[in-house]
Structure 1
């Protein structure tokens, strides 16, 4: 697991390679990643948007921006957590993802929360540093 905390908001990510949804002969590899967001601050916050930077083993970079996560913009009160699972296809056997969430407090303060960098690697293959 990979974790990072910004202003009392902890983001924990666990990636998993999905062999049954991958087709190596077609250069199609698929990972799921589960994200848990924990509000350890004293403020109620809402997740407004996400920004991902996805780099594959060939150095190709894709940026993804959008409202919320998996169609939701969750509100997290102090001590609350939110978890979701999403996926990422690549044309290479490895890559790396990193990003941020835009959060807003009840008072309207908007700030970025870091999502830790995490690898997308097929188990038992030599690792490639990106």
Structure 2
């Protein structure tokens, strides 16, 4: 069986504008995002690292790399889901995030799982 069939993950994201932590007059605008990482493959793997590409409405790009997520490096067995919530301040009312997670297999091989680009937006900011 190929590695791509054995190790398969789905990443789903939901976002929420945190008005109470934001300054609508001039920023920052603070967003929460909740991520579900679901192991839909047949192999167990551990999330080692994250890499984020964060872009604001002025096309300023910030890259963030680090170990694990929210201080954890979860092991996901087939059928398991790991969910976490984190936050992102932006200087603008609209922006995007995307990236990838690096996983390690039980055999010590590493592979990347894409985090699809998602929108961070103050409600009605795009109208």
Alignment of 1:33-72 (within 5 A): 33-72=33-72
* Partner Cα distance (2:42, 2:12) in 1: 19
Taking the aligned partners of 1:126 and 1:70, their CA distance within structure 2 comes to 30
- Equivalent residue number for residue 113 of structure 1: 113
Which 5+ residue runs of structure 2 have no aligned equivalent?
1-6
Shift in Å, 1:26: 3.5
TM-score w.r.t. structure 1 length?
0.90
In structure 2, distance between residues paired with 1:125 and 1:91: 14
Aligned counterparts of 1:62 and 1:97: Cα–Cα separation in 2: 10
Q: Which residue of 2 aligns with 1:3?
A: none
The 5 A counterparts of 1:80-99 are: 80-99=80-99
Unaligned segments of structure 1, at least 5 residues? 1-6
Aligned partner of 2:4 in structure 1 is: none
The CA RMSD over aligned residues, in Å, is: 1.0
The alignment of Structure 1 onto Structure 2 pairs a total of residues equal to: 121
User: Residue 101 of structure 2: SS of its match in structure 1?
Assistant: strand
Question: How far is the alpha carbon of 1:102 from its aligned partner?
Answer: 0.1
